[in-house]
C-alpha cells in the first residue's frame, strides 16, 4: 500500500469558487468540520472573472420586481428546460443570499437612498443585478474568503487553532472520489506543489469545481475549467444532465490572438453599448426570434429611449438572451459583415461620455487598454462568441443538491445541472452559486451528522489504484505495447480543443459530431500514452496529463448528448434541426459511465465511455405555470403538457 | 500539509536577510532592473542638496534680505531686534537684542520642519539619501530596518503640528505679498516684477500647504461618514485633488521660494533694479 | 508586425538552488509574457513551473519579476520590450521559492488571518444595511485589490529584511485595516476593537516609510500609499501621538 497522508473530516468541498466557499461556510456554521480543496491559491477561483452582477429580485431600483418575475425570466431564458424547482428556489432565495453578503462585509454599489443598486442585464425584465462596477465576482469571492477567515478567527479564539474546523487545502487537485459500497467515503488527490498524494476521509463530498471551457479552443474560462467535477461524479457513478447545452457568450475579445475568448462583460450592453456590423448597422434588430418579438424594441429610437424610461419602452435587442446574440454575431460574421479580426463591433464610445465609461466599466477599459491597446472611450471593441458556461452538469436533487444515486455526493454551482435549462441568463450564475452552494453545504453537513458511527470507510485498494492512475504519465512509454515515444499532453490538449471548437461548437451538424466522437476516441488512446518529463514537484505537464482524462470524458458527454438532441434550443443549435421542438421540452438526456462497475482505470479507451439515456421531466407545478400567459406557454409546452 | 494556508511548521532558513539569502530564489544580483532606476533618486538628492546649500548660505548670511517693499521669504516674519527695519513689515521684536545670529534661523525651523516631516519629502529623502530603498525592487544597503517605529523617526508623526505652523507662516507670506503692492517709497497701488514673483510663490506655497496629507485628514479624511458632513466631504475632495499633485507642488514651491529669495537678494545687492509695471 | 525570436532568461530551480536559463522563443503579434512562458512549457520546458489562472489581470496569480520589476506576467505585453532585448523573468524575490517561477506566498495568508474581520453592526439585519455611495467609495477602491501580492513583494520592509515579517503586515493588509476602518458600518469600535491603534501596535504600520513602491507596482492602480497607508497613519496619530485629539475625545466622552 502506498503511504499517503490521511485526514478525517466531516465534509469535503472540492472547489473554492463562489459555490464551494458558500458551501463550506454553511457546513462549518452547521457544525461540520469542513475541508475545502482548490487547484489554485485560495481566492483566485474563476468566480473572480464574473463581472456583471448577482441577479436577485430585491426590487431596489424597480419595485415591480419580485421572485415570480425572476422565476419567469429564468424559465424563459432556459427555454423551459430548467429544473423548475431549482429555478423557483433560486428566485426566492437569491435576495437573502445577497443581503447576507453585506453582513459579511461586501460593499455593493448603492442607490441614492443607500440600498444595493441593481443594473439591467440581458433577459431580465427589471434592473436586477447587484454589482460592484464590473468586478462583482471579485467582490463575491473576496467576501466569502474573508468570511472563511472570520470563521477561522472564531475557531482560533475557541480552540487555539485556526484550522480546527475549517481548512483550505490550496493548490491541490482531487483525482478520485472514493467510495464504500454505494456511499462516498472521501477523496483522493495530490498537492500540486510537492506532487504528494493525500486522502481526505469524509462521508460527504460537495463538488463545486465549475465548468468545462478548457475543452474548447476559444473560451473565457481559465485553465482550472477542465471538467474535473463532472468527471469525478461520472467516475463515482453519478449521472450528468443535459451536457449538450454549452453557452457561448456573445462577446469575447477576438484580438490579439493570445487573449482571444477573454470575456467582455454583458454590462457593456446593459449600460448602452450597441452591436454593429462592418456596414455600421445595428444588426440585432434583424435577429429577434418570434418568442421574444413583443418584448423587444423594433426601432433604434425606441431601444435608446428604454435606457431612461424602461416602463414605457421595450428594451433594445442587444439585450436578448446570450444564445440569441451569439448566434446573430456568428451569422453576421459568416455573411461577410464581420470586423477585421473576425468579430463584430461593440461600441460604447459613441454612446456615453468618456468619464462615464471609465467609471462604469473600469475593468473593461483597463482590459482593452492593457491587452489590445484599444481605448474603448474612443473606438469600438471587436467581439465574437466565446465558450463561457456549461448549463449541463451533475444531476442533482433540487432541494438538497444531492447527486443522484451516490449517497454523500453533493454538487453546486456550474458543475451542477438543471437550474439554467438550456441557457443561463447573465447574473444568474452568481446567485446560483450562493443559493445552491448554501443548500449543498447545509445538506452535506446534515447528512454527515446523521451517520454518527456508521461512517463509510476508505478502501485501501481504491487508494492504491488511484495512486497508480495518477502516476501513469511518468511511465507512459514503458507500459504501452504500441511503443513509440510518449505523447505530449499539450499537443493532445490542443487537438481536443480544436476538435470541440470546430465540430461541437456554436452551430452543430450530425456528421461533424460523429467525426468528433471518432476523433475523441483517437485522442483517448493517445492521452493514455501522454508522458511527462521531470518530477512530481509543481509539474504542469503532469497536471495537464491528468486533467486530460476529465476533459475527454466530459467532451464525449457533450458530443453524444448534442448528437442525440435533434432540435435547437438555448445553448444547443443544430443546423440540421434548426427549430425548437416542443416534444423535446420535457426530455432530459443523462450521461453515465458505460461500464459503471468500480474497475477504476478505464482500459478500453477506443470504445465510447459514455452511455446516454432519455428521461421525461416532472411537469411544472401548476401554480408556477400560472405565472405565464397561455399564449406564451403554447410556444414552449407540448399540447398534452398544457392541458394536464 | 505544505499547501495549506498555514505557515510551515519548521523554519529552516535564517530569520534575517534579504533577497539574496535564505529560502529566496538563488539570484546573486541585488536587483535585475535594466532601466535607469538610479536617475530618480539621484535627481532628487541633487535637487534637495542644491536647495540645502543655497538656503543655508542665505539663511546664515543675515544680509541682503530686504529691498523695499520686498522681504525675502526666508526672513519673514523677522522676529529679532537685529532685523532690518521694514515699514509695516512683518518684523516684530519678540526676540530681544541677545539674539545675535541671523533672524532667519528663528522662523525657518517651521517651514523646514513642515517639509522635513512631509509625506512626500520623506519618500524623497528616504530614497535619495538613505537608499531605503534606493528604488523599487532594488535591494537596500542596510542590515536592519525599523522604519518609523522608534525615535527619532517616530517624530514624523507630529507632521500635523508643523502643518498648523505652516499655515501661520503662509499667512505672513501672504501679508508680505500684499505689501509688495507698494513701491520702494511705501506708496500703495504699485506693482513690479518682484510682486509677480511673490504672487506666484505665495500661490504655490498655499497650494503645497493645503495639499498636505495631514490637511486632507483634518478637513475630512478622518470622518467615517462623508454623507453626514457634505461640506467637509466637498473640502476633502478638493484637497484630495490637490493632494494628488503634492509632489509637483512640493518641488514647485521649493523652487519658487528660493527664486523669491534670490530675487530679493539680487535687488538688494543692486545687481538690477526691480522693473516696475505701474 | 510579424513574429520574431526573442531572447529570454528564466530562473529555474528550487529552494536548493537554481540559475537563470537562456531560451530563444518565438513571439507573435499582441502576445504577453505569460504567452511566451506557456510556449516554453509547450515546446522546450514542459515542467517549467508557473502559477497562473485567469490570464486577464483579474485573479492576481501570475505575479513574477520581469527585468527586475514585480509585474503580472499576463499583463505585460511583449511590445513594451525592444526586439533585441533579453527579457529576464524570475520568481518573486521576497518570498521563499518553491520551484521555477512559483513562490510560497503563505506569508500573505498568515497576515490575512491576523486582521480582525468585519464586525457587523448590532441590530441591523440582512437587507437593512443602508450605506451611501460616497461613504463606500473609499473602501471600494481598496476592494479592487486582486491579491497579486506584488506590493507585498516589492515592499523593502520585508523584501530586504526577513526579520520584519512577523511584525509587519505589509501594504496589502494594512490597506485591509484601512478598508475596514473606513467601512461605514463596521462596528469594531463598539465591540472594543480600535483598528486605528492596532494598525500601529499590532500590524506594524510604523515600519512603512511611505516610499510608495506598493503604489508603483499595483496592477489595479490602487493608490495604496496616498489613500490607505497615509490616512491610516494619520488615524493612528489621532489615537497615539496627537494630545489635542486625545484630550478632545476624553472631554467629549465625559460630557
C37 and C159 in a single domain? The answer is no
Distances (CA, A) of A243 to A75, A419, A620, C171: 18, 13, 21, 45
Residues 6+ apart with CB under 8 A from B74: B55, B58, B59, B65, B104, B108, B257, B261
Helices and strands: H and E segment counts in chain B: 8, 4
Residue A482, pLDDT > 90, answer no
Q: Report CA dihedral (A210, A213, A215, A219) to the nearest 10 degrees.
A: -160
State the average pLDDT over residues A541-568: 96
What CA–CA distance (Å, rounded) separates A523 from A520? 5
Grid coordinates in use for A298?
A: 423594433
Grid coordinates in use for C145?
A: 485589490
Residue B254, pLDDT > 70, answer yes
- CATH code of residue C99: 3.10.20.30
Scan for cell 435549462, then name that residue: A421
What CA–CA distance (Å, rounded) separates A36 from B144? 39
C123 and C223 in a single domain? The answer is yes
Ramachandran region of residue A340, left (φ > 0), alpha (ψ -120 to 50) or beta?
alpha
Of all residues in chain A, the percent with pLDDT exceeding 70 is 96
- CATH code of residue C217: 1.10.1060.10
What pLDDT score was predicted for residue A596?
A: 62
* More confidently predicted of A402 and A364: A402
C39 and C94 in a single domain? The answer is yes
The CA distance from B74 to the nearest CA of chain A, in Å, is 44
C84 and C110 in a single domain? The answer is no
Say which of C17, C106, C132 has its CB closest to residue B7: C106
What CA–CA distance (Å, rounded) separates C193 from C190? 7
- Give yes or no for C192 touching A (CB within 8 A): no
- Among this protein's residues, is A572 annotated catalytic? no
Cis status of the peptide bond prior to C92, with omega within 30 of 0: no
C178 and C56 in a single domain? The answer is no
Report the run of H or E that residue A478 belongs to, with start and end.
helix A476-479
C125 and C96 in a single domain? The answer is no
Residue A34, pLDDT > 60, answer yes
Test B136 with C70 for CB contact under 8 angstroms: yes
Q: Give the confidence band of A491 by pLDDT, cuts at 50, 70, 90.
A: very high
- Among this protein's residues, is A269 annotated catalytic? yes
C50 and C94 in a single domain? The answer is yes
C21 and C72 in a single domain? The answer is yes
Is C94 in contact with B24 (CB distance < 8 Å)? yes
For A461-481, the pLDDT digits (tens) are 999 999 999 999 988 654 445
Within 13 Å and on the Cβ side, how many CA atoms surround A242? 35
Test C209 with B214 for CB contact under 8 angstroms: no
Residue B10, pLDDT > 80, answer no
Distances (CA, A) of A19 to A23, A206, A277, A640, B241: 6, 10, 38, 37, 41
What residue ranges define each of the domains in chain A, with the CATH number in brackets?
5-247+389-460 (3.50.50.60), 249-387 (3.90.700.10)
Which member of A249, A314, A404, A455 is catalytic?
A249
Per-domain residue ranges of chain B: 39-268
What CA–CA distance (Å, rounded) separates A413 from A384? 26
Is C150 in contact with C62 (CB distance < 8 Å)? no
What pLDDT score was predicted for residue A606?
A: 58
State the best of B144, B147, B244 to mutate against chain C, taking most chain C CBs within 10 Å. B147
C239 and C224 in a single domain? The answer is yes
Q: Within 10 Å of residue A626's Cβ, how many Cβ atoms?
A: 12
C25 and C129 in a single domain? The answer is no
SS3 call for A141: helix
Chain C: residue whose CA lies nearest to A162: C113
The CA distance from A606 to the nearest CA of chain B, in Å, is 37
Of all residues in chain B, the percent with pLDDT exceeding 90 is 81
Q: What is the mean pLDDT of chain A?
A: 92
Residue A643, pLDDT > 80, answer no
Grid coordinates in use for B63?
A: 544680509
What pLDDT score was predicted for residue B1?
A: 42
The CA distance from A214 to the nearest CA of chain C, in Å, is 12
What pLDDT score was predicted for residue B14?
A: 54
Q: Of the candidates C103, C126, C148, which is a domain's last residue?
A: C103
What CA–CA distance (Å, rounded) separates A288 from A283? 10
State the average pLDDT over residues A301-321: 90
Residue A226, pLDDT > 90, answer yes
Q: Of the candidates C82, C103, C124, which is a domain's last residue?
A: C103
What CA–CA distance (Å, rounded) separates B225 from C243? 24
Nearest to C75 by CA among C45, C35, C41, C23: C35
SS3 call for A74: helix
Test C162 with B21 for CB contact under 8 angstroms: yes
Nearest to B1 by CA among C25, A163, A265: A163
SS3 call for A22: helix
Determine the structural domain holding residue C170 and report its residue range: 106-254
Q: Is the ipTM of this complex over 0.90?
A: yes
State the average pLDDT over residues B168-197: 94
What pLDDT score was predicted for residue A12?
A: 98
Q: Report CA dihedral (C91, C94, C95, C98) to the nearest 10 degrees.
A: 30
B224 interaction partners in chain A (CB closer than 8 Å) = none
Domain count, chain C: 2
C164 and C183 in a single domain? The answer is yes
For the ranges A99-103, A193-197, B270-274, C47-51, the maximum mean pLDDT occurs at A99-103
> Which regions in chain C score pLDDT beneath 50?
none
For B67-117, the pLDDT digits (tens) are 989 999 999 999 988 888 888 888 888 888 888 899 999 999 999 999 999
Amino acid at each position: 500500500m502506498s503511504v499517503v497522508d490521511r485526514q478525517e473530516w466531516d465534509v469535503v468541498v472540492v472547489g473554492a469558487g463562489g459555490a464551494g466557499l458558500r458551501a463550506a461556510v454553511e457546513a462549518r456554521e452547521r457544525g461540520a468540520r469542513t475541508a475545502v480543496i482548490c487547484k489554485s491559491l485560495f481566492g483566485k477561483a474563476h468566480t473572480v472573472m464574473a463581472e456583471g452582477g448577482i441577479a436577485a429580485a430585491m426590487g431596489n431600483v424597480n419595485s415591480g420586481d419580485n421572485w415570480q418575475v425572476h422565476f419567469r425570466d429564468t424559465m424563459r431564458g432556459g427555454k423551459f428546460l430548467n429544473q423548475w424547482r431549482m429555478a423557483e428556489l433560486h428566485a426566492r432565495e437569491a435576495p437573502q443570499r445577497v443581503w447576507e453578503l453585506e453582513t459579511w462585509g461586501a460593499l455593493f454599489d448603492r442607490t441614492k437612498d443607500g440600498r444595493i443598486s441593481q443594473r439591467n442585464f440581458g433577459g431580465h425584465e427589471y434592473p436586477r443585478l447587484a454589482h460592484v462596477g464590473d468586478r462583482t465576482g471579485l467582490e463575491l469571492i473576496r467576501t466569502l474568503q474573508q468570511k472563511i477567515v472570520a470563521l477561522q478567527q472564531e475557531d482560533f479564539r475557541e480552540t487555539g487553532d485556526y484550522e480546527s474546523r475549517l481548512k483550505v487545502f490550496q493548490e491541490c487537485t482531487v483525482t478520485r472520489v472514493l467510495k464504500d459500497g454505494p456511499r462516498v467515503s472521501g477523496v483522493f488527490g495530490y498537492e500540486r506543489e510537492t506532487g504528494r498524494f493525500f486522502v481526505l476521509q469524509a462521508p460527504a463530498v460537495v463538488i463545486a469545481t465549475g465548468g468545462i471551457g478548457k475543452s474548447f479552443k476559444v473560451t473565457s474560462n481559465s485553465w482550472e475549467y477542465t471538467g474535473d467535477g463532472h468527471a469525478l461524479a461520472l467516475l463515482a457513478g453519478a449521472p450528468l444532465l443535459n451536457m449538450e447545452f454549452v453557452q457561448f457568450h456573445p462577446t469575447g475579445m477576438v484580438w490579439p490572438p493570445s487573449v482571444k475568448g477573454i470575456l467582455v462583460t454583458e454590462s457593456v450592453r446593459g449600460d448602452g453599448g450597441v452591436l454593429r456590423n462592418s456596414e455600421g448597422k445595428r444588426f440585432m434588430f434583424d435577429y429577434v426570434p418570434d418568442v421574444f418579438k413583443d418584448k423587444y424594441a423594433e426601432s433604434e429610437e425606441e431601444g435608446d429611449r428604454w435606457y431612461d424610461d424602461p416602463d414605457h419602452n421595450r428594451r433594445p435587442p442587444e439585450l436578448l438572451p446570450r444564445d440569441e446574440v451569439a448566434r446573430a454575431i456568428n451569422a453576421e460574421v459568416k455573411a461577410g459583415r464581420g470586423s477585421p479580426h473576425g468579430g463584430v463591433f461593440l461600441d460604447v464610445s459613441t454612446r456615453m461620455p468618456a468619464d462615464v465609461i471609465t467609471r462604469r466599466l473600469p475593468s473593461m477599459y483597463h482590459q482593452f487598454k492593457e491587452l489590445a491597446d484599444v481605448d474603448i472611450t474612443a473606438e469600438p471593441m471587436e467581439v465574437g462568441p466565446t465558450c463561457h458556461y456549461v448549463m449541463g452538469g451533475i444531476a442533482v436533487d433540487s432541494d438538497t443538491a444531492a447527486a443522484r444515486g451516490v449517497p454523500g455526493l453533493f454538487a453546486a454551482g456550474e458543475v451542477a445541472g438543471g437550474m439554467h435549462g438550456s441557457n443561463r441568463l447573465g447574473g444568474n450564475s452568481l446567485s446560483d452559486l450562493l443559493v445552491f452552494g448554501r443548500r449543498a453545504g447545509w445538506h452535506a453537513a446534515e447528512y454527515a451528522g446523521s451517520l454518527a458511527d456508521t461512517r463509510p470507510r476508505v478502501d485501501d485498494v481504491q487508494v492504491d489504484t488511484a495512486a497508480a492512475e495518477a502516476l501513469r504519465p511518468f511511465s507512459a512509454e514503458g507500459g504501452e505495447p504500441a511503443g513509440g515515444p510518449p505523447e505530449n499532453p499539450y499537443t493532445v490538449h490542443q487537438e481536443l480543443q480544436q476538435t470541440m471548437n470546430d465540430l461541437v461548437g456554436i452551430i452543430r451538424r450530425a456528421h461533424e459530431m460523429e467525426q468528433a466522437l471518432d476523433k475523441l476516441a483517437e485522442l483517448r488512446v493517445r492521452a493514455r500514452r501522454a508522458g511527462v518529463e521531470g518530477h512530481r514537484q509543481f509539474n504542469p505537464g503532469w497536471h495537464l496529463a491528468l486533467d486530460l482524462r476529465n476533459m475527454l470524458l466530459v467532451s464525449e458527454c457533450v458530443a453524444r448528448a448534442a448528437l442525440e438532441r435533434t432540435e435547437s434550443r438555448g445553448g444547443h443549435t443544430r443546423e440540421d434541426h434548426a427549430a425548437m421542438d416542443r416534444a423535446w421540452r420535457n426530455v432530459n438526456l443523462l450521461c453515465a459511465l458505460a461500464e459503471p462497475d468500480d474497475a477504476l482505470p478505464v482500459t478500453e479507451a477506443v470504445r465510447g465511455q459514455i452511455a446516454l439515456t432519455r428521461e421525461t421531466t416532472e411537469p411544472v407545478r401548476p401554480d408556477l405555470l400560472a405565472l405565464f400567459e397561455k399564449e406564451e406557454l403554447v410556444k414552449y409546452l407540448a399540447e398534452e403538457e398544457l392541458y394536464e | 500539509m505544505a499547501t495549506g494556508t498555514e505557515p510551515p511548521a519548521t523554519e529552516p532558513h535564517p530569520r534575517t536577510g534579504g533577497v539574496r539569502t535564505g529560502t529566496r530564489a538563488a539570484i546573486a544580483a541585488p536587483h535585475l532592473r535594466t532601466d535607469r532606476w538610479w536617475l530618480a533618486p539621484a535627481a532628487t538628492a541633487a535637487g534637495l542638496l542644491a536647495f540645502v546649500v543655497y538656503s543655508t548660505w542665505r539663511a546664515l548670511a543675515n544680509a541682503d534680505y530686504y529691498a523695499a517693499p520686498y522681504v525675502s521669504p526666508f526672513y519673514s516674519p523677522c522676529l529679532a531686534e537685529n532685523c532690518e527695519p521694514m515699514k509695516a513689515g512683518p518684523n516684530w521684536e519678540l526676540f530681544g537684542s541677545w539674539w545675535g545670529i541671523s533672524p532667519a534661523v528663528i522662523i525657518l525651523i517651521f517651514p523646514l520642519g513642515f517639509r522635513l516631516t512631509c509625506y512626500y519629502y520623506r519618500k524623497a529623502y528616504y530614497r535619495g539619501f538613505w537608499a531605503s530603498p534606493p528604488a523599487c525592487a532594488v535591494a537596500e544597503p542596510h542590515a536592519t530596518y525599523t522604519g518609523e517605529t522608534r525615535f527619532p523617526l517616530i517624530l514624523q508623526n507630529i507632521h500635523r503640528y508643523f502643518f498648523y505652523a505652516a499655515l501661520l507662516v503662509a499667512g505672513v507670506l501672504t501679508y508680505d505679498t500684499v505689501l509688495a503692492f507698494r513701491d520702494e517709497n511705501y506708496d500703495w497701488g504699485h506693482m513690479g516684477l518682484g510682486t509677480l514673483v511673490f504672487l506666484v510663490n505665495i500661490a504655490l506655497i498655499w497650494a503645497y500647504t493645503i495639499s498636505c496629507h495631514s490637511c486632507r485628514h483634518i478637513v475630512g479624511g478622518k470622518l467615517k461618514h462623508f454623507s453626514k458632513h457634505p461640506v467637509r466631504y466637498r473640502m476633502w475632495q478638493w484637497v484630495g485633488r490637490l493632494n494628488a499633485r503634492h509632489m509637483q507642488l512640493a518641488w514647485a514651491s521649493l523652487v519658487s521660494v528660493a527664486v523669491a529669495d534670490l530675487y530679493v537678494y539680487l535687488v538688494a545687492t543692486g545687481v538690477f533694479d526691480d522693473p516696475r509695471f505701474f | 508586425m510579424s513574429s520574431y525570436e526573442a531572447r529570454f532568461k528564466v530562473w529555474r530551480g528550487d529552494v536548493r538552488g537554481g540559475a537563470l536559463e537562456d531560451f530563444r522563443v518565438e513571439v507573435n503579434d499582441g502576445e504577453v509574457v505569460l504567452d511566451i512562458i506557456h510556449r516554453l512549457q509547450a515546446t522546450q520546458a514542459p515542467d517549467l513551473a508557473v502559477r497562473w489562472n485567469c490570464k486577464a489581470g483579474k485573479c492576481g496569480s501570475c505575479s513574477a519579476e520581469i527585468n527586475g520589476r514585480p509585474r503580472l506576467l499576463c499583463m505585460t505585453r511583449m511590445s513594451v520590450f525592444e526586439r533585441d532585448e533579453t527579457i529576464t523573468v524570475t520568481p518573486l524575490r521576497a518570498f521563499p521559492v518553491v520551484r521555477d517561477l512559483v513562490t510560497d506566498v503563505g506569508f500573505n495568508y498568515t497576515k490575512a488571518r491576523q486582521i480582525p474581520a468585519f464586525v457587523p453592526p448590532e441590530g441591523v439585519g440582512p437587507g437593512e444595511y443602508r450605506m451611501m455611495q460616497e461613504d463606500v467609495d473609499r473602501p471600494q477602491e481598496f476592494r479592487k485589490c486582486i491579491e497579486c501580492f506584488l506590493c507585498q513583494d516589492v515592499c523593502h520592509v520585508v523584501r530586504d529584511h526577513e526579520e520584519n515579517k512577523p511584525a509587519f503586515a505589509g501594504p496589502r493588509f494594512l490597506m485591509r485595516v484601512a478598508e475596514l476602518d473606513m467601512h461605514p458600518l463596521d462596528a469594531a469600535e463598539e465591540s472594543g476593537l480600535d483598528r486605528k491603534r492596532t494598525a500601529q501596535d499590532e500590524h506594524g504600520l510604523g515600519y512603512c516609510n511611505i516610499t510608495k513602491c506598493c503604489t508603483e507596482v499595483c496592477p489595479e492602480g490602487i493608490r495604496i500609499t496616498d489613500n490607505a497607508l497615509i490616512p491610516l497613519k494619520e488615524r493612528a496619530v489621532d489615537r497615539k501621538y496627537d494630545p489635542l485629539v486625545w484630550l478632545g475625545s476624553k472631554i467629549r466622552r465625559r460630557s
